[in-house]
Structure 1
Amino acid sequence: MLEIIMKKYQMFSASTRFLKYVQIDTQSDPNSPSNPSTEKQKDLSRLLVQELLDLGITDAHLDEWGYVYATIPSNTEKHVPTICFCSHVDTSPDCSGAGVKPLIHFNWDGTDIVLPDDSTQVIKVAEHPDLKEQIGNDIITASGTTLLGADNKAGVAEIMAAAEYLMQNPDVKHGTVKILFTPDEEVGRGTEKVDLKKLGADFGYTMDGESLGTLEDETFSADAVSLTIHGISTHPGFAKGKLENAMKIAGDILAALPKDTLSPETTEGMEGFIHPTQISGIQEAVKLDFIIRDFTVAGLYEKESFLQNIVNQVLVNYPNSRVDFKVIEQYRNMKEVLVNYPQVVDFALEAIEQAGLKAEKRSIRGGTDGSRLSFMGLPCPNIFAGEHAFHSKLEWVSVQDMEKATQVIINLVQIWEQRS
């Protein structure tokens, strides 16, 4: 059946590629110390390299860390800044990515979408407002037991489709275009081993955004906080006045967090949060991990100080215990860099408009590879890829949105050439 669907969409290169890519399990692993965190991510990366070579992109290769690099040579006499397009191949560890069965809901009629392999998984129009704009379009979902992988294989497919178009249409003038596919974005390590000198780009764009026509030039700033709680352990039969259970200390810290603010489930827009993500240990010692998010570094520091005060207050009741409080910087708001390069954002907005869309600049309550790349010296906003409800079994993307994203890439390289 999938072969028939792919033949129907052979004119839509992004969609046919996407249907193939999502069937390759590339889930990353936050607990793995290796690079990439899972070898299976390279299964897709090797395929991408071969497809790039087949397009005539002769320098396409996969390095030992799981990064794919490739160059579409300039075909203009103008001196044009080198532009990179980047997407990540891994899928989230929050939901299974093995055995993905992509389905196309043709000419979607506007009703809730019940996923066939688990009828309790329903993509409800009332809960997915962007769906209302998709009536008559062709919606791709998984079957109900896995995520789809549109985050970020939609972006990968769109970049590959644009590369195919540019290689087959030399009359479309552009400067040097770099392609970068990264591993481990979903576990916060997407740029850990990237070689920007080898990449050789001046500016970049991640294709990892959500709604049609959107561009994100502002992200959270992000830190992680790791608490190691050292209690006092003793035999419970002789524990009176001695035992200070590290698990109870951890419970008291969690219970002291605000119930109606400062959490992901109680914030929106430009509000940040403190979010516990993992707990492990025994009565002697417990490790408690948090992520801290805000759009400003000052806001991060305020929340970290707030959490430290909670810890201090809890420890008053456990005078012989201690807590190691460790802050790990994760990424910073790309806006701090992009404000110095307005043309990077302006050209992208123009490319979106040229695709017949209403361009909308947004802030993202999260981060992308572009957040880190921007601070590493590659200013890199985030363009929509069409992915929705990511990290879940309800993930979806439309064929038409993917084709528009591909067109934006093609428009954008031409704009950079024209303005140079």
Structure 2
Amino acid sequence: MEKLLPRFLEYVTTDTQSDPYSKTTPSTEKQWNLAKKLVMELHQIGLQEVSIDENAYIMATLPSNVDKKVPTIGFISHMDTSPDFSGKNVKPQVIENYDGKDIVLNKSKNIVLSPDYFEDLLQYEGQTLITTDGTTLLGADDKAGVAEIVTAMEYLVQHPEIKHGKIRIAFTPDEEIGRGAHKFDVKKFGADWAYTMDGSQIGELEYENFNAAKANITFTGKSVHPGYAKNKMVNAIGIANEFMSLLPVREVPEHTTGMEGFFHVHKIKGEIEKAEIELIIRDHDAVHFEARKELLKEVVDKLNQKHGDYVDLVIEDQYRNMREKVEPVFHIVEIAEEAMKSVGIEPIIKPIRGGTDGSQLSFMGLPCPNIFAGGHNFHGKYEYVPLESMQKAVEVIVKVCELTARQIK
């Protein structure tokens, strides 16, 4: 366990930001840097069947140490960090014995992590926090998960008195751009079920997530001198603005919570002759999800009827709610819940307001709930993770392995 912090710090200072516009896997060459380090480390801690494929998917095995047939279980995390905020030159800060007050992340830029805004900080008073320096994200999403899995496997290797079945682990590229499971070899992995270590605060246990799609809307215009533009100019920017006005005003991330879905415009650019909007569609309910896609089509049809055929819509499904694949094998959630309680954690079972590799993997035949990795405020400069939460995540992994073997007669 003493290696957990230095291990995590080494991982986060290795830039692995993914790129949604790249066509390669991994989407960025720099993800290989951490991947190669991990392969060496897995060999060093004593795991077997360590492999890395041409797309940087890493797998390894901790063999069973019991003389009975036990389900093979897996633990999975992703190596990449979000393209939403810089992951280059991460300079983590370690705040010991946090006093519950403001943390100055960057004095020169006046960037402060404050419990007045981020109330969750107060539950970690007295603990050790790892933060950013205010200029990058931290990368706890999901290098905390990677560090926890490696540390848990090392602990089990060093403590053979803890009985467990065969354990498989995997680290994936490109989860942050929705491709983490695209080239995951479920058959090769060979687990009966698995857990992604990719949740947020301590105690989180999730087995349902958004249904997700992305939409690209292109607006075509006609440029004419503005002094002579009447009945001739078609301003693509104006039509794009009209499109925005026809979406439900309150159904956006900043006004929704819990099971509420949303539309989220995350990119817009344009000139008179061409404008483009990129947005994502999210909803836990499958019927509502389909209705959201239909609403976009209706809005585009309305604009085309009004202005002419100047608007083009492309919708692409990204992932689905894994609940329907996990509920038939719900004992895998119950094992994780029991593991948390046995190490003194009160489980927080709630839907993910996002996605996870586990969603796609569940539909690929590998049921895969999500367990906390401990971090907060992902994808930005206010990201932080309590060391004690990461330590508890390691304990949960170990206990899940132990309970799975113990429950099989």
Q: What TM-score results when the alignment is normalised by the length of structure 1?
A: 0.93
Determine the structure 2 residue equivalent to 1:87. Answer: 77
Q: What are the residue-to-residue correspondences of 1:298-337 with 2, within 5 Å?
A: 298-319=287-308, 321-337=309-325
Determine the structure 2 residue equivalent to 1:200. Answer: 190
For 2:403, which of 381, 390, 415 is the aligned residue?
415
Shift of 1:119: 4.6
For 1:72, which of 47, 54, 62 is the aligned residue?
62
Whether 2:249 is the aligned partner of 1:292: answer no
For 2:86, which of 88, 92, 96 is the aligned residue?
96
Shift of 1:150: 0.6
**Using the alignment, how far apart are the partners of 1:159 and 1:314 within structure 2?**
51
Q: Where does structure 2 lack aligned partners over 5 or more consecutive residues?
A: none
**Using the alignment, how far apart are the partners of 1:129 and 1:380 within structure 2?**
30
Shift of 1:267: 1.0
Whether 2:378 is the aligned partner of 1:386: answer no
Higher alpha-carbon deviation: 159-168 or 124-133: 124-133
Deviations 1:308-351 (CA, angstroms, capped at 9, x unpaired): 222233334313x3323222111111111111111110000001
Aligned partner letter, 1:254 = M
Q: Secondary structure at the match of 1:126?
A: coil
**Using the alignment, how far apart are the partners of 1:364 and 1:127 within structure 2?**
22
**Using the alignment, how far apart are the partners of 2:50 and 2:227 within structure 1?**
66
**Using the alignment, how far apart are the partners of 1:33 and 1:281 within structure 2?**
24
Determine the structure 2 residue equivalent to 1:401. Answer: 389
Whether 2:209 is the aligned partner of 1:219: answer yes
Q: Secondary structure at the match of 1:140?
A: strand
Shift of 1:412: 0.1
Determine the structure 1 residue equivalent to 2:243. Answer: 253
Determine the structure 2 residue equivalent to 1:140. Answer: 130
Deviations 1:350-409 (CA, angstroms, capped at 9, x unpaired): 010111111221111111111111111111011011010110111101111100000000
CA contact (8 A) 2:148 2:393 kept: yes
Q: Secondary structure at the match of 2:293?
A: helix
Q: Secondary structure at the match of 1:207?
A: strand
**Using the alignment, how far apart are the partners of 2:311 and 2:191 within structure 1?**
44
Higher alpha-carbon deviation: 97-106 or 153-162: 97-106
Shift of 1:410: 0.1
For 1:377, which of 349, 362, 365 is the aligned residue?
365
Shift of 1:122: 1.3
Whether 2:263 is the aligned partner of 1:274: answer yes
Shift of 1:91: 0.7
Q: Where does structure 1 lack aligned partners over 5 or more consecutive residues?
A: 1-10
Aligned partner letter, 1:106 = E
**Using the alignment, how far apart are the partners of 2:119 and 2:339 within structure 1?**
25
CA contact (8 A) 1:118 1:145 kept: no
Shift of 1:258: 3.0
Shift of 1:286: 3.2
Higher alpha-carbon deviation: 11-20 or 363-372: 11-20
**Using the alignment, how far apart are the partners of 1:224 and 1:237 within structure 2?**
38
Aligned partner letter, 1:126 = D
CA contact (8 A) 1:118 1:143 kept: no
Determine the structure 1 residue equivalent to 2:2. Answer: 12
**Using the alignment, how far apart are the partners of 2:360 and 2:110 within structure 1?**
38
Whether 2:18 is the aligned partner of 1:28: answer yes
Q: Secondary structure at the match of 1:19?
A: helix
Whether 2:32 is the aligned partner of 1:62: answer no
Deviations 1:157-182 (CA, angstroms, capped at 9, x unpaired): 00000010111112211111111101
**Using the alignment, how far apart are the partners of 1:192 and 1:373 within structure 2?**
9
Shift of 1:127: 2.2
CA contact (8 A) 1:117 1:143 kept: no
CA contact (8 A) 2:46 2:154 kept: no
**Using the alignment, how far apart are the partners of 1:316 and 1:36 within structure 2?**
42
**Using the alignment, how far apart are the partners of 1:412 and 1:225 within structure 2?**
39
Deviations 1:131-174 (CA, angstroms, capped at 9, x unpaired): 12111111111111111111111000000000101111122111
**Using the alignment, how far apart are the partners of 1:301 and 1:332 within structure 2?**
11
| Superposition CA RMSD, Å | 1.6
Shift of 1:61: 2.2
Q: Secondary structure at the match of 1:219?
A: coil
Deviations 1:14-56 (CA, angstroms, capped at 9, x unpaired): 2221011111011111111111110111111111110000112
Aligned partner letter, 1:379 = P
Q: What TM-score results when the alignment is normalised by the length of structure 2?
A: 0.96
Aligned partner letter, 2:340 = I
**Using the alignment, how far apart are the partners of 1:377 and 1:112 within structure 2?**
46
Aligned partner letter, 2:114 = K
* % identical equivalent positions: 48
Aligned partner letter, 1:326 = V
**Using the alignment, how far apart are the partners of 1:179 and 1:287 within structure 2?**
41
**Using the alignment, how far apart are the partners of 1:44 and 1:78 within structure 2?**
36
CA contact (8 A) 1:117 1:145 kept: no
For 2:333, which of 335, 340, 345 is the aligned residue?
345
Determine the structure 1 residue equivalent to 2:99. Answer: 109
Aligned partner letter, 1:364 = I
Aligned partner letter, 1:322 = Y
CA contact (8 A) 2:300 2:312 kept: no
Shift of 1:418: 0.7
Q: How many residues get paired?
A: 408
Shift of 1:281: 4.8
